[in-house]
Amino acid sequence: MKKTWHFYFQISVLILSGLLLAAYSFLFTGEGVFGVSPKNSGKNAVALDPNVLEKMKKEILTPKEWISKTKHRLFLSEKYLYFPDKNEIKKEDEKVMVGPFPLGWLQKYDLPILDLTVVTQDPDGDGFTNIMEYHSEKPEEGTNPIDPQSHPAYISALRVKEVKATKIEYKFTGTQKLEEKDVYSVLVEKGEDRNSFMKKQGEKVDGFEIVGYSLKKVVKKSASTGAEEEVDVSELEVENKELEMKTIFVQGEAKNIPEIHATFVLALANKIDQPFAAERGRSFDLMGEKYRIIDATGTGVKVKKVDSNEEYLIPSLSADDLRQLPSKVEKK
């Protein structure tokens, strides 16, 4: 008898049913179709450590974070900077210079990288521009340009607007006895004023206290006759504590000690229009700190901090000082 496709279909259904029955028996009863337990049945399985299960659970629920070996994010290319003034393209790096600043310094304080006026901006309103904050007494990091309490020392912004030196000439002219005590004669010329002082040791001549005297004589040739003659070159030692100066007046020789008057100004946006005067011999106040003029030179005025004796050379106000000032100070 010829077998039809129905016959083969029925045979296939019976085989598939047997396989499903065997699978059900193994999974849900732990035994085979004929009641025989498989070698690796659930009854002989080794229990897992609960700590291991908990660790596996955490690893599943907390996927690992992708960590780049560079500073760039996943699927994003590295950043580059274009400098139109130099027509240059540079890979972004915190050490790349953006004008006078390292890129990292600008990014640290969230300052505008692409704004050309960032140099003279004063975001915290303390009068010090960004470039002044960067070039502070801490050049490796600068002061904080967005914190008004963090700024360079005010002495760094001090400038000389004007200085005048009035010539004062002192001449020790001789000594004599008065009431059995030595009295010293000193002539002081200040412009058209001329005054002669007769003072004992411990007394003052125009601010200079006489602290010592040494009798000295030398033999010199006369300028008029050419003959040798004895000349009195005795020395009068004087001290001016206000000027922090000790000096020697030699008899017969003029000593020029100028009187110095200076007009200072702080080269800051909020102080540039507030000049103040100072003179040698008197201390002046600079934002709560005391300074004293020592001397004036061709390059500026020397000052000394009263409490520490640190000396500074204050330069004259320049065009560069004015150019670095912001046009407007905005306080937050």
SS3 sequence, 226-261? CCEEEEECCEEEEEECCCCEEEEEECCCEEECCEEE
Burial 158-191 (b: 16+ CB within 10 A, else e): bbbeebeeeebebbbeebeeeeeeebbbbebbee
Q: What's the pLDDT at 329?
A: 38
Q: Average pLDDT over the chain, rounded to whole? A: 81
CB atoms within 10 A of CB 206: 16
Distance CA(137)–CA(122), nearest Å, equals 18
Residues pairing with 199 in the sheet: 184
d(CA 207, CA 194): 16
Question: pLDDT tens across 201-245, in order?
Answer: 999 998 899 999 999 999 888 777 778 888 899 999 999 988 888
CA distances 31 to 14, 18, 41, 155, Å, are 21, 15, 8, 94
Q: Can you give the pLDDT at residue 142?
A: 74
Question: Can you tell me the distance from the alpha carbon of 274 to that of 208, in angstroms, rounded to the nearest whole number?
Answer: 33
How deeply is 61 buried, as exposed, middle or buried, from its count of CB atoms within 10 A (0-12, 13-18, 19+)? exposed
Strands 245-250 and 217-221: unpaired
Average pLDDT rounded to a whole number, residues 143-147: 91
Using 50, 70 and 90 to split pLDDT, how confident is the model at 86?
low
pLDDT of residue 46: 64
Q: What is the DSSP letter of 116?
A: G
Q: What are 27-43's pLDDT values in tens digits?
A: 555 554 445 555 555 55
